[in-house]
Structure 1
Amino acid sequence: MKVTSTWGMSLAATKLRPPLPPGQLVRRSRLDDILDAGVEGQARLVLVSAPAGSGKSTLLASWLAGRPEAVAWLQAEESDSDPARFWSYLVEAIGQARPFAAGDVKSAVVGSNGDDLVVVSALVNELADAAEPLVVAIDDYHLIDNGSVQRGMERLIDLCPRQVTIVLSTRIDPPFRLGRLRVRGQIAEIRGADLRFDADEASGLLGSAVRSLDRARLDQLCGRTEGWAAGLVLAGLSLERAADPGEFVEAFRGDDQLVVEYLRDEFFAAVDADDRRRLLETSILEQLSGALVDSVTGATGGAKWLLDTAGTNQLLIGLDRTRTWFRYHHLLRDLLRLEAHQTFPERIPGLHARAAEWYESQGDHGQAIVHRLAGGEARQAARLLLVHGPRLLAGGQTETLRGFLDQLGDVAKTVTWCALLYGWCEYVGGRYSRAQEWLDTLVEVAPEGFDHTPAISLRMNISLARGDVTTALGTARQVTATEHLMSHSCDLATATGAAYAWAGQAGEARQALRFAAEKAAAERFPTAHVLSLVYQAIVEFDDGSPASAQTAASTAVDTAQNFGLAAYHGVAPAYAIRARTGGDPVRAHADASQALSLARRASTDLALGFVLTACGDTLIGLGDTAGAPLLAEARSVLARCPDPGVAGRYLARTESRHGLAEAGGGSGRAAVLIEQLTDRELAVLRYLPASMSQRDIASELYVSLNTVKTHCRSIYRKLGVGDRKAAIQAARDLHLL
């Protein structure tokens, strides 16, 4: 988790420690016993599930303060539904609680964009190495609504070592298979009914406010609120001021449906105008500090006001031991926001603008964007994305970035860097056609003299993802004809090397990929580093050197494992190559299985077709009948590619070698020109990589369609291939293209 200032670090830290206990803390030993039994009985999950305002956070914070184990605490927020953001925070929380190789796991988070399989595997491996007990607590887990995060958390619960206990506080049950945990005795649960305050506990919670109540009235108050903590606290705010406490208890309704009316009739009537104004104005904030309160309200004394308010109102919760940061209880915050929108709706945008200015002055562009968008200032938010967008991409938080871009609406279609960021989001999400559309939008809105270099890497990646090696190769050649590789980030060198690798241009690929690996290591970009090594393995394999390919593939896999990226789908070709070039049948089977598992998860058609071919080739060689169907699948996958490059050639020769299909070319790598092409055939050949039909080529050359068909048949024969795609790759090998 990157921070840009001392303030940014202190704010982030408020998510990573339990809230401070309220002034009237009630020790609830009957509930502590349930929680203790869960940890000491080595339950995998301790679940505290109850409605808002039930006292879940306070219970857990006070209980954990008395436990001997190290505690990792994460206060979840809605924005944490982005997988990369969620796992980054959780890894940071665990790292603060107990020293471990958090940096390696963070690299896995960022490099995989928060892929649940990659991250959980890396995290469990690190947790397994430590013997000391650890409690990992996540508060407000109901705010997480991402399926990938949910799958990852359930997997973490299943795989965590016995010394680790996961504790979740939530308003609704998570979508886990809880029944299975119950049958196995691996879960401890506290429900809403368990959290209801009885009369003795309510007396401790309300303190001096209940001195005027006898036991019967106290029992009646608990009945009115059904033991609901928030209802009791709200009652306590007015009870001491009530002229007739008994009459107040008789009239009070503590259920959440009537709290709004109560706040209007009782709570707001009891605070002076200045306090009411500050409460409503600051309700737009998720967290509050004195300086931020002053900036938003235009007043002074915010720090003292927060301390005074927290001293009398348990619904303002302290977040750090220095009493600098606070937050409203979710119920109070929501109700204050409702009242603010009804009282002064026209002022809300201005309050958000003040908050945005303060956050921006502190270097927190993320929160500044949130408030710019909330205040309707889309163009100001777009301006901030010029700086913050690349940071989100680099941190793997593409879902957060896409959320911001979606909120910009039509503004995103008029700003170059927003179009580029949108393109990257679509590419990472596997929506390549839409990514290309955003690149086209960038070209349309770019002003004269705009530097398109930052878009080149995305352009090549989209071409390769769509299986269009011809277009990617053309872009790569433009890049290496300039100094762009030296002056831009490692992702450009990696994409350039990948284009040369898939095109079978070994010399150019090696040069670009060696540089990419060095640059990625210097820039601490683990994904690009691993991918550059994977592509080097593809180059060595295609160049016909099994020993070199085995070494390169092993290096790629080992490096991925060191970075915690062994389960990253981009490593699949390296596993496949290691399987095909290895001498141990058992290991070859294992590597092929791993390659197939990873490649099927998120690989492009080009990589998936290559992996299917290599694994099919390996399994057939081992006498496994599962190999032939893999080659058939590879054929259908690569058929979708306009130009599959060396992957298509490898498949054709593999099918031919195993007698599974008629295919041009022998089993060796080098293409052989059986007969020299004529000038007219060379002219037709140069059009084959383009996405033009034979009729289009005929029109372009001012010849008949039959003439082009005749030339194509002659070209295929002289190159020793059977179709257009194979002819393109053979021509590249012979430097005819």
Structure 2
Amino acid sequence: MWEEKISETAHGEIGLSAMHTLLLPKFHRPLPPKRAVVRPALLARLHAGLAAQRPLTLIAAAAGYGKTTLAAQWASQLTTPATWLTLEPADDDPLRFATYLVAALQRLHPSIGTNLLPVLRAGQLPPEHVLLTTLLNDLDAAHALRATQQQAAQDPFVCFLDDVHAIQQPQNLSIVQALLSHPSPGLHLVLVTREDPALPLARLRARAQLTEVRAADLRFSEAETTGLLCTGMGLSLASHDLASLHKRTEGWAVGLQLVGLSLQDHADPAAFVAALSGSHRFILDYLTEEVLARQPADRQQFLLETSLLTRLHGALCDAVTGRNDSAALLEELLRANLFIIPLDDEGRWYRYHQLFAELLQHKLRRERGACMPTLHRRASEWYERQGMPATSIEHALAADDEPRVVTLLTAHGWHLLTREQTPMLAQWIQALPEAARQRSPHLNTMMVWRHILHGAYQQAPPYLAAAHRALAHLPPESSASRALQADILALQAFLAQVQGQPSQALTLAEQARSLVPPEHTRLQASTSLALGVAYRVVGRCDEAIEALEAALHAAQAIDDHVTAIVVVAHLALIWHPLGRLHRLIATAEAVIERTETISRVAPLMIGTIHAVIGQVYYEWNQVAKARHMLLHGLQMAQLSGQTTSVAYVSIYLARVAQETGDQQAAARYLREAGDVLARGGAPAWVRLDWIAQQVALLVAQGKLAEAEASLRETGITPETPVSYQSDTIHLAWLRWQIASRQPQALTLAQRIVQSAEAQGRNGSLIQALVLGAKAGGGQAWLIRARQLGEPEGYQRIFMATERTPNATPALIEPLTEREHDVLRLLATGLTYAQIAEQLIVSINTVRYHVKGVYGKLGVEKQMQAVERGRALGLLSYSPSDNES
């Protein structure tokens, strides 16, 4: 029963299914000690700095001066929303720091970091300018929204960063500096630190943008010393002894507190005070020994053995020390004021004052260093039982228990990999000795998956080779060996597919899938994904869909939302050329909703999904929604650094820009996609899409020679057999042939139509029919295209096809509203008299409008006008629906 309670409320990790593990106690504002001395003058200074709209408050002093206590007292008095984050040395990793910082800021307002946090949890650190721009915009928007909702100007949000001295990396400090260099009216930073951070404090001070509280301010006055020792701790001391203590400790809070603890029940307080002298460090060591010596032996042992825990919980301490009363003992230590700080209101989690913990750890290493690995191992075992593998691994590493680390990584590696722990996973693997890494195929396959999932394909081969070598040491016919062979073959299939070797990728994927035991759900998901992608690339669409849907089912069964996202991205890439738009939208949006609102997992290929969804909305002529979806997808792709998604979204933003008249933006998006492709950061099939869109733009610009050169780079000619893989390039050739007035254009259109019909590629078929109509196929081709497209909602293709010399020209002058009405009624077969009756106008007026319609559409007969109107989409939507 107690384990269930811990897993629900006490183990201190955020655990929404597959969320990145964040320790909740780090966000808890420490509760000020009950006997803490109130510092009204300092609190007034802090309030004044906030009221003056200074962006930064710095509370800086050496350990033990009461910095955190003062900050916590101030935080408890604030009326504006405030958040707290306690930093520690492990947070000096840039990704970890950014993740915790954004998570802390999101506690101020849920809109802050909405796009950033999933990316960071995915193990992706965006470029600094992207991260900071996004974060500052979110802060400004959240502050403005709050002000609007409350119809008044508001104080800024306040973010407390405690123990800032724990972060030293320039990349981390530059994030903080950027928040100060571009101060948001929505944010006030409070930095609590033992030493000045490497920030432009002098400039901020000169601009009156800084409120400072330093050691001299934090020293207790004689009156405060008396209040702490006599009123707070109940000591009875002569005034001259109090004055002497104040002088010798220089008002140092932790020193005075240790004095008070040492003097409790002391037979001769005056003699103790007289003997106290020396440096702060000497006094601290002396007083710590005094305080510990006065504790019962079992309490001393408890303090030492638990000092290596960054956070304390009764059950955890029981597991580490072998006791069964740790929860009660922690409460006793709190009542005794023994430098223990509660981290929650329920009294479940605590931590030692850092200075006290450091002294205890030093004493533990000096006196009982040999037992530290055992203590860490016990902590590791407890955290594993609570379902917290990340913390378990860290304690196993601290115990220098290499076999246990390997066992934990093998057992939990995929869980960590697909729950946005990939950076830490790589660090843990790299922390192992080279020999241990080389002989573990599991560790190497995990590293390969990590690189593939993040698009770092070039970094994967060395780990794959190491996995092959390690596999040779396993019994060849064992189930473990077969499972590893399947894993390795699936990874080889992905790399072959990326390198443009589709046939080899398919052979490898089929071999991988055949080796997977039925009960191995994780491998069923990953090998089915590899197989589905391989089938997709070679154009076996039905088999690809079957394999990918099996992968989706298996991935969702084990809450592997990362694999699920990749699966749906590839399903979307199939359903779009097949013309199954409604199915695409239903599945893709459902998975995005589940990912973003339930699992909050890494959006590795979510940009690609947004790109395909954006294309569908564009086909449905919901242009504003399409553009929003594409831009959001681009932002997510750039934040996550997923190069395939960056290139793919940019290509389709180029299409929308071109077809809505912004060729300059189209060229810019294509350049950005081309830069990604030039760096080798995307699979081969993306390059074909990029060339096809580049050709569409060049044709629209009349640059036919350049368009032809680009097409010939692909190695696909108009004479090449048409297939799923070649569709985009053959359609691009068809556009070029129409623009170049090539007589064989209609023949190519017929070949594309035949291939698309044979394989059910209705999306490609509709494009070929529309272009074929321009190549000489006539209205019958357009009519058939519309018959195929209407059930799936196609509209835009009939309105915004390329304007080539042989194409039916677009309207130079748009129809008036009345002409739209007349055209709509002509399409219903009404006579002029019936139309006049419907519109309540004369027959001559109808004739006048009909003449205008014919002239603008470039036709001479009623049937031609109706067909032309349908080809342009004028009869498939109302003007109010066109968002372009």
Give TM-score scaled by structure 1 length: 0.72
> Quick one: distance in 2 between partners of 1:612 and 1:102?
23
Contact 1:609 1:638 in 2 (8 A): yes
Match of 2:447, SS state, is: helix
Q: Which residue of 2 aligns with 1:204?
A: 227
User: Please, which of 646, 650, 655 is the counterpart of residue 685 of structure 2?
Assistant: 646
Q: Which residue of 2 aligns with 1:691?
A: none
My pick for the range that moved more, 141-150 or 372-381, is: 141-150
Per-residue deviation, 1:68: 4.3
Per-residue deviation, 1:33: 1.7
Per-residue deviation, 1:147: 6.9
Match of 1:344, SS state, is: helix
> Quick one: distance in 2 between partners of 1:299 and 1:518?
45
Q: Which residue of 2 aligns with 1:346?
A: 370
Q: Which residue of 1 aligns with 2:273?
A: 248
Q: Which residue of 2 aligns with 1:6?
A: 5
Structure 2 counterpart of 1:443, one-letter code: H
Match of 2:312, SS state, is: coil
State whether structure 2 residue 391 is matched by structure 1 residue 380.
no
> 1:536–1:344: structure 2 CA closer, same or farther, 3 Å change rule?
closer
Spell out the pairing of 1:156-305 with structure 2 (5 A cutoff). Answer: 166-173=189-196, 188-207=211-230, 208=233, 211-214=236-239, 218-239=242-263, 241=266, 243=268, 245=270, 248=273, 251-253=276-278, 255=280, 257-259=281-283, 261-263=285-287, 266-271=290-295, 273-298=297-322, 301-305=325-329
Q: Which residue of 2 aligns with 1:705?
A: none
> Quick one: distance in 2 between partners of 1:423 and 1:238?
57
Q: Which residue of 1 aligns with 2:463?
A: 438
Match of 1:660, SS state, is: helix
Per-residue deviation, 1:28: 0.9
Match of 2:420, SS state, is: coil
Which of the two has higher C-alpha Rg? 2
Match of 2:259, SS state, is: helix
Q: Which residue of 2 aligns with 1:393?
A: 417
- Name the % identity: 27
Per-residue deviation, 1:328: 1.8
Match of 2:432, SS state, is: helix
Match of 1:340, SS state, is: helix
Match of 2:706, SS state, is: coil
> Quick one: distance in 2 between partners of 1:153 and 1:19?
22
Structure 2 counterpart of 1:10, one-letter code: A
> Quick one: distance in 2 between partners of 1:511 and 1:183?
66
> 1:473–1:153: structure 2 CA closer, same or farther, 3 Å change rule?
farther
Structure 1 counterpart of 2:163, one-letter code: D
User: Please, which of 10, 35, 38 is the counterpart of residue 24 of structure 1?
Assistant: 35
> Quick one: distance in 2 between partners of 1:45 and 1:158?
11
My pick for the range that moved more, 163-172 or 590-599, is: 590-599
Contact 2:569 2:608 in 1 (8 A): yes
Count of matched residue positions in the alignment of Structure 1 and Structure 2: 676
Contact 1:469 1:645 in 2 (8 A): no
Match of 2:406, SS state, is: helix
Q: Which residue of 2 aligns with 1:563?
A: 596
Contact 2:490 2:512 in 1 (8 A): no
Structure 1 counterpart of 2:596, one-letter code: F
Structure 2 counterpart of 1:214, one-letter code: S
User: Please, which of 420, 424, 437 is the counterpart of residue 412 of structure 1?
Assistant: 437
> Quick one: distance in 2 between partners of 1:160 and 1:293?
43
State whether structure 2 residue 722 is matched by structure 1 residue 660.
no
Q: Which residue of 1 aligns with 2:330?
A: 306
Cα deviation 1:500-558 (Å, max 9, x = unaligned): 555565555555556666776776665555544544554466x497x959986996799
> Quick one: distance in 2 between partners of 1:401 and 1:98?
30
Structure 2 counterpart of 1:416, one-letter code: P
> 1:30–1:585: structure 2 CA closer, same or farther, 3 Å change rule?
same
> Quick one: distance in 2 between partners of 1:414 and 1:201?
62
CA RMSD after TM alignment? 5.4
User: Please, which of 318, 328, 338 is the counterpart of residue 342 of structure 2?
Assistant: 318
Spell out the pairing of 1:684-695 with structure 2 (5 A cutoff). Answer: none
Per-residue deviation, 1:347: 2.5
Structure 2 counterpart of 1:369, one-letter code: I
Cα deviation 1:371-409 (Å, max 9, x = unaligned): 322222111222223343333223212222233223332
> 1:733–1:159: structure 2 CA closer, same or farther, 3 Å change rule?
farther
> 1:38–1:251: structure 2 CA closer, same or farther, 3 Å change rule?
same
Per-residue deviation, 1:161: 8.2
> 1:26–1:319: structure 2 CA closer, same or farther, 3 Å change rule?
same
> 1:379–1:5: structure 2 CA closer, same or farther, 3 Å change rule?
farther
Spell out the pairing of 1:558-637 with structure 2 (5 A cutoff). Answer: 559=592, 563=596, 570-573=605-608, 578=614, 603=641, 610=648, 622=661, 624=663
Match of 2:341, SS state, is: strand
Match of 2:307, SS state, is: helix
My pick for the range that moved more, 362-371 or 85-94, is: 85-94
Per-residue deviation, 1:66: 3.6
State whether structure 2 residue 43 is matched by structure 1 residue 53.
no
Per-residue deviation, 1:315: 1.9
Match of 1:395, SS state, is: coil
My pick for the range that moved more, 224-233 or 154-163, is: 154-163
> Quick one: distance in 1 between partners of 2:672 and 2:591?
29
Contact 1:84 1:109 in 2 (8 A): yes
Match of 1:382, SS state, is: helix
Match of 1:440, SS state, is: helix
> Quick one: distance in 1 between partners of 2:84 and 2:53?
19
Contact 1:540 1:549 in 2 (8 A): no
> Quick one: distance in 1 between partners of 2:710 and 2:102?
52
Per-residue deviation, 1:642: 11
> Quick one: distance in 2 between partners of 1:37 and 1:229?
24
Per-residue deviation, 1:177: 6.4
Cα deviation 1:441-467 (Å, max 9, x = unaligned): 233323232213455665555555666
> Quick one: distance in 1 between partners of 2:109 and 2:667?
49
Cα deviation 1:341-384 (Å, max 9, x = unaligned): 22232232233333334444444444433332222211122222
> Quick one: distance in 2 between partners of 1:623 and 1:89?
40
Q: Which residue of 2 aligns with 1:682?
A: none
Per-residue deviation, 1:29: 1.0
> Quick one: distance in 2 between partners of 1:553 and 1:147?
45
My pick for the range that moved more, 599-608 or 306-315, is: 599-608
Structure 2 regions of 5+ residues with no counterpart? 13-23, 699-704, 723-743, 745-754, 760-884
> 1:326–1:599: structure 2 CA closer, same or farther, 3 Å change rule?
closer
User: Please, which of 54, 71, 86 is the counterpart of residue 75 of structure 1?
Assistant: 86
User: Please, which of 418, 440, 448 is the counterpart of residue 423 of structure 1?
Assistant: 448
> 1:529–1:306: structure 2 CA closer, same or farther, 3 Å change rule?
closer
Spell out the pairing of 1:355-370 with structure 2 (5 A cutoff). Answer: 355-370=379-394
Match of 1:51, SS state, is: coil
Q: Which residue of 1 aligns with 2:784?
A: none
